Amino acid sequence: MKRAPGWLARSLPWLLLLSLALFPLLAPSLDLDYYVGFIRHLLIVMMAATSLNFILGYGGMVALGHSGFVGVGAYTVVALVDGGVTSAWGAWLAAVAVAGAFAAVIGAVSLRTRGVYFLMITLAFSQMLHHLAVSLSAYGGDDGYSLHAPLLLGVGLDDAHPHVLYWVVLALAALLFTFSCRLAVSRFGYALRGIRDNETRMAALGYPIYRIKLAAFIGAGAVAGLAGALLASHNKFVSPSVMHWTESATLLVMVVIGGLGRRWGGPAGVALWLTLAEVLKLYTEYWRWPMGLLLVLIVFLAPKGVVSLFEGPRRAG
């Protein structure tokens, strides 16, 4: 059916993974220390974007509140650390569970609406979460909360060591990416795309539409929660601004410019957007408008995302 990819295409992801894994070791000699943290941040945002791409690109659910789940994950870590928890894995896992639970409730309500109403109600929920975080004076309210004590990763390691956290994040991101690729060609992935393309027919074929969408929504929320938890460890700081609606919009933007429903769409969009911002910031304090211009241009010139520019006439996979 599909042309088998050549050896170069097949080994490219592995080469990328290898070079990313070696980067912290080589960075000092190349005077690129700062970029270890930058790439770590990139990888975390890629996880959030990949989860959004799953419901947005494969599921056709235009949600404008995804950063709400990132925030829930981050604040779960804050709450646990504040309560004396020291295990990184425990805190992160809890963040996944709590964000998934929030996604279950929010999704159960939101998925009863459609189109622009779905967009608005997901936005409304994330705004509620934002207000909730602002009012949590125990966790710093508007000023945010600094995580002073490192979280322990076991075998004598903790998340304060910049390289250790980098590798953990890289491993999790790679795992998640692999999983998302597999998910796309699994029964669930096909069912989700079928619903996106023709919901009525899928209902007539006997698919439980609502449950499938909800499951996807919960999964995406849980992964966003993981990204939020890692972001807390990465920044050692959490504030309500992680859930501002413009953060949700930025995630959406990154997924769309990368490529909706394309496996490399999330990572490519995040890499392009954040790298561009980083480079522009080196030269000017007016770095936002070129990015805005880029968005307008992409909408008109490459509506299927930058990944599509590198594809042949082949269909999205």
Partner 1 sequence: MDAIFIIEQILNGLGYGLMLFLLAAGLTLVFGIMDTMNLAHGSLYMAGAYIAAQVHQASGSFVGAVLAAIAATVLVSWLLEILIVRRLYPRDHLAQVIATFGIILIADDGVKALWGPSPLLASMPTALAGPVQLLAELPYSAYRLLLLGAGLLVAAGLYLLVNHTRIGMLVRAGASNRAMAELMGVRVDRVFSFVFALGAALAALAGALMGPISAVQIGMGEAILIPALVVIVIGGIGSVRGAFIAALLVGLVDTAGRAFLPPLLRAVLPPALAADLGPALAGIAMYLLMAAVLILKPAGLFPARA
Partner 2 sequence: MSLFSADGLFKHFGGLVAVDRVSFAVEPGEIHALIGPNGAGKTTLINLISGLLPLDAGRLVLDGADLTGLPPYQRVRRGLSRCFQVTSVFGADSVFDNLMLAVQARAGSSFRCLRRRAAEGSLRESALALAQKFGLDAALDRAAAILPHGDQRKLDVALALATRPKLLLLDEPLAGMGPEDSAQMVALLHRLRTETAILLVEHDMDAVFQLADRISVLDYGRVLASGDVASIRDHPEVQAVYLGTEASG
Token pair for 258: 């990368």
Stretch of 147-155, 229-237, 285-293, 308-316 contacting partner 1, by CB under 8 A: 285-293
Q: Could you tell me which stretch among 29-37, 212-220, 223-231, 296-304 binds partner 1 (CB under 8 A)?
A: 296-304
> 172 near 181, Cβ under 8 Å?
no
Rounded Cα distance between 220 and 243, Å, is 16
Residues 6+ apart with CB under 8 A from 150: 158, 159, 160
Which partner in partner 1, partner 2, none is near 253 (CB below 5 to 8 A by kind)?
partner 1
Residue 112 touches partner 2, criterion: CB under 8 A: no
Q: CB-based contacts of 233: which residues, under 8 Å, 6+ apart?
A: 77, 88, 92, 147, 151, 159, 165
Q: Residue 291 binds what, of partner 1, partner 2, none (CB under 5 to 8 Å, by partner type)?
A: partner 1
* Choice between 178 and 246, CB closer to partner 1: 246
Please report whether residue 178 would count as binding partner 2 according to CB under 8 A: no
- Considering the complex, state which of residue 42 and residue 192 has its C-beta at the smaller distance from partner 2: 192
Nearest to 225 by CA among 105, 55, 94: 94
Per-residue DSSP letters for 109-175? HHTTS-THHHHHHHHHHHHHHHHHHHH-GGGTGGG-EE--SPPEEETTEETTSHHHHHHHHHHHHHH
Contact between 104 and partner 1 by CB under 8 A: the answer reads no
Whose structure tokens read 């990015």?
291
| Residue 193 CB, nearest approach to partner 2 (Å) | 8
**Interface residue with partner 1, options 300, 301, 312, 313 (CB under 8 A):** 300
- The piece of 85-93, 164-172, 210-218, 282-290 that touches partner 1 (CB under 8 A) is 282-290
Among partner 1, partner 2, none, what does residue 64 contact (CB within 5–8 Å per kind)?
partner 1
Rounded to 5°, angle at Cα 54 from 203 and 5: 105
Do 303 and 91 touch, CB atoms closer than 8 A?
no
Check if the beta carbon of residue 251 is closer than 8 Å to that of residue 71: no
Judged by CB under 8 A, the number of residues near partner 2 is 26
What angle do the packed helices 34-53 and 66-82 form, to 10 degrees? 120
Q: Is 52 in the site for partner 1 (CB under 8 A)?
A: no
Query: Which range of residues in 4-12, 43-51, 208-216, 238-246 is near partner 2 by CB under 8 A?
Result: 208-216
Which of partner 2, partner 1, none interacts with 11 (beta carbon under 5 to 8 A by kind)? none
Q: Verify binding: residue 303, partner 2, rule CB under 8 A.
A: no
Q: Which is nearer to partner 2, 212 or 249 (by Cβ)? A: 212
Nearest C-alpha neighbor of 151 from the set 243, 54, 236: 236
CB 97 to partner 1: min, Å = 23
Amino acid present at 35 = Y
Interatomic CA distance for residues 127 and 67, integer angstroms? 10
Instruction: List interacting residues with partner 1 (CB under 8 A).
Output: 56, 62, 64, 109, 113, 115-117, 119-121, 123-125, 127-128, 131-132, 134-138, 245-246, 249, 252-253, 256-257, 260, 285-289, 291-296, 298-300, 303
Binding footprint of partner 2 on the chain (CB under 8 A): 1, 182-183, 185-191, 194, 197-198, 200-209, 212, 215, 315
